[in-house]
Amino acid sequence: MAPSVSGICNAPAKFTVQGCTGRCLASVTVCPATADAASSEVQFTATADYTAPPYIVPLQTADWGACLNNAPTNNISITSNGMGKCQSGATGNFTVYAFVPTNCNVIGPCGTGCTVRGTAMLACSEPVAALSQAIPSAPASQ
């Protein structure tokens, strides 16, 4: 993992955007890149990567969502602040995304289309139920 820059994870290199004059949003980075939320919530953050200083800043406003195999899903919930949680019975590796709409009229499923977006992976698996009885010990040899 790349080192943090002022509390911002995965700081990328400087970007250029074709046709951009001035300061333009080049990409979005979502952290952590992978997380397991089988029995808890995970806080994701999004970082905006610009073509001019300041290059890297926390993304204050983003649209968040989740997909499974490139299709929207309700098996995990993502709040407007990036808090991810597996729903009861959810299993698998889900894509969490954050995006900023650009000057386009079409935004496709899972944040695709005319957007600048970042993605991460959230693993969900049902927690193993605790054993309700102790395992009996082996009988003593006589």
| Domain assignment of residue 72, yes or no | yes
Q: What is the tally of structural domains in the chain?
A: 1
pTM, full prediction: 0.75
Structural domain span for residue 46: 25-116
End-to-end CA distance of the chain: 57
Joined tokens for residue 33: 């890149």
**CA 58 to each of CA 30, 69, 74, 105: distance values in angstroms, whole numbers, following the listed order:** 10, 28, 26, 25
Q: What is the pLDDT of residues 37-92, one digit of tens each?
A: 876 899 999 998 888 888 888 988 888 999 999 899 999 999 999 999 999 888 99
Asked, for residue 35, whether it belongs to a domain, the answer is yes
Residue 18 domain-assigned (yes or no) = no
